[in-house]
Amino acid sequence: MLCYEHNKTLFYTKTYHNMIHIFVAFLLVSTSLGPVLSLQPVPDSGHRQLQNCTLNPHKDIQKLRRVQAYLKKINKPAVKTIQSPDGDVIDCVPSHLQPAFDHPQLKGQKPLKPAVRPKGHNLTEAVSESFQLWRDTGESCPKGTVPIRRTTEQDILRASSLRRYGRIRRHVRRDSTGYGHEHAVVFENGDQYYGAKASLSVWAPRVTNEYEFSLSQIWIISGSFGNDLNTIEAGWQVSPELYGDNYPRFFTYWTSDAYQTTGCYNLLCSGFVQTNNKVAIGAAISPRSSYNGRQFDIGLMVWKDPKHGHWWLEFGPGLLVGYWPAFLFSHLRSHANMVQFGGEIVNTRSSGFHTSTQMGSGHFAEEGFRKAAYFRNLQTVDWDNNLVPLTNIHLKADRANCYDIRQGRNHVWGTYFYYGGPGRNVRCP
């Protein structure tokens, strides 16, 4: 908004937020203001100072109105609201009113019934009722509704622009470190894939600044690493820009044109159809793993429904979250040609050297169990809706001195790997 690109963090402060509204109100009743105004520096209080900023009153009013219009569109009427301990507000929205049904091809429809799970899927684990912080309140959303994390004005103002909010990941290649994205992953290609499954440990890695993130996820990929890339992604991420804190949060993402204009995180656009009233996409995960202490992991499975062709998502021990309709995609309407598991960070080199943003636990793979992050029981789904082990495994660490990966196999964990690292260190300048 005001001097936004150079002073973004000031929007996080209550003082500056109030200043915006006072300023806009003043503009609406005054006609004597000149076209250019200057603000004096705001007292620091731990935040950056506002320096030599030029204001554009007309543009600022327009942007504020666009933000308010977007909030009205994305935050649907709720039958119940729940205040989470981490500050989130969870809205219980009637399932047929969720953002997905703003899409022209879904308008007037209702969520589909659950798909048939792949053969060989084990549902014997006990379901934890408290795997997200908002559930610690003891409150829940009624049947027939879906829990949606409310988007706030502060969420949008942290983004580089309203158009980019919750949408653009700004990278298009898996095989390079362009755009500052670095990976430590296991992947398999060379066949037709109809899904993937794994359990991944949850940590709270340190993220150096608001322009970076750290995530661990499953990718379902089809097309080439160019303008026609289709991906479905799910896992956990720490993203101060998107969420305003450093909690690991359950997230989803999709795109059908290599992250250019289609797709978004979570439910921030019309796309993913949620069917579950116990899981809030974008909400903080609890508990989390601790170094040399208790380890906590979550199960994830994405697979293509043989009957309707939609891609379904399961989270935790057997909870169907919802599905991505097949019509959202081009290549993924039929199948994937690659599946990928692992971690990703953004390295902005904001201080002139490699970031100290952590991946996974922040420790290298060689440290092993209770110290390094892991994925276990990696499987893919074949053409006949069977879960099968990986047979053509490849490992890739873009910067092994910063974040690395080690893969193994045993009778308890099946195919597994440890991964991650601290980022900047003596071997990673």
> What's the rounded Cα separation, in Å, for the pair 291 and 277?
32
Q: 146-160 in b/e burial notation, b at 16+ Cβ within 10 A? A: bbbbbbebebbbbbe
Which residue, 380, 322, 422, is CA-closest to 187?
Answer: 380
Q: For residue 420, what are the β-bridge partners?
A: 404
Is residue 401 within 8 A of residue 177, CB to CB? The reply is no
Query: Tokens in use for 341?
Result: 């598991």
Conformational region of residue 31, where left means phi above 0, alpha means psi within -120 to 50, and beta covers everything else: alpha
3-state class (DSSP) for residue 416: strand
Please report, as a single letter, which amino acid is at residue 326.
A
CA dihedral 329, 335, 337, 340 (to 10 degrees): 80
Residues 188, 212, 233, 241: which is the catalytic one? 233
Dihedrals phi, psi of 239, to nearest 5 degrees: -140, 95
Tally the C-alpha atoms within 13 A of residue 358's C-alpha that lie toward its C-beta: 16
Tell me whether residue 233 is one of the annotated catalytic residues.
yes
Pairing of strands 393-397, 181-193: antiparallel
CB 93 within 8 A of CB 148: yes
**Catalytic (active site) residue 241:** no
Q: Tokens for 387, please give them.
A: 């879960």
Strands 181-193 and 214-222: unpaired
DSSP character string of 179-214: GGEEEEEEEEEEEEE-EEEEEEE-------STT--E
Q: Which of 182, 188, 212, 344 is catalytic?
A: 344
Q: Is the peptide bond between 287 and the residue preceding it cis, with omega within 30 degrees of 0?
A: yes
The Cα diameter of the chain in Å comes to 77
The number of angstroms, rounded, from the C-alpha of 83 to the middle of its chain's C-alpha atoms is 21
185/216 Cα distance (integer angstroms): 9
- Tell me, rounded to whole angstroms, the distance of Cα 273 from its chain centroid: 16
Residue 254 — φ and ψ, nearest 5°? -155, 155
Residue 417 corresponds to which amino acid?
Answer: F
Positions annotated as catalytic residues are: 233, 344
